[in-house]
Structure 1
Amino acid sequence: MTEKPNYSLDITGEVCPMTFVKTKLRVERMVSGELLEVRLKGAEPLGNVPRSLIELGHEIISTIREDGEGDTGIHRLLVRKK
């Protein structure tokens, strides 16, 4: 990742809809322009969390798959609060 996140959130142990609920609550406590790195696991959170954040007006900077993990494995999502 080229930009260093201000905050990190690990939701790999959560299931939908709590994956998005916990992410949304964290983003709400941030200042506009700050970055959050979200570590998530599974196809459902990988599809739902970024889509929901975009719908709220936030920017997805990057989505990176961790080494050794398939598409349903762990990913790191970098989000900028708008």
Structure 2
Amino acid sequence: MSDAQSDRYLDLRGTPCPTNFIRCRLALEAMRPGQHFQLDLDRGEPEEMVIPGLTRDGHRVEVMDQAKDWVRLQVVCGGG
């Protein structure tokens, strides 16, 4: 998957938990199944909470890029 396939982009670096997860869920509610969005998150708790939460909700999450203090994800809306 490339960035060009993303239908949306969220930069949630610096956004605390659980606000970052809530913003992801709201974005996904407005999307159709199969649509993609790119998401930038801080490492640590945000990464540990958001990725499993989105997966649990039926969305596919793939790490696209990462650095010492952030991670870039590609999320595919699962429609659930």
- If the length of structure 1 is used for normalisation, what is the TM-score? 0.85
Whole-angstrom distance in 2 between the partners of 1:41 and 1:62: 13
RMSD of the alignment, in Å? 1.4
C-alpha displacement at 1:64, in angstroms? 1.9
Mapped contact 2:43–2:70 kept (Cα < 8 A): yes
C-alpha displacement at 1:63, in angstroms? 4.1
Q: Deviations over 1:11-60 (max 9, x none)?
A: 11210010101111111111110001111112111111110001001111
Match of 1:2 in 2: 2
- If the length of structure 2 is used for normalisation, what is the TM-score? 0.86
Match of 2:63 in 1: 62
Match of 1:34 in 2: 35
Work out the number of aligned pairs and report it.
77
Alignment pair present for 1:43 and 2:71: no
Q: Where do 5+ consecutive residues of structure 1 fail to align?
A: none
Alignment pair present for 1:76 and 2:77: no
Q: Where do 5+ consecutive residues of structure 2 fail to align?
A: none
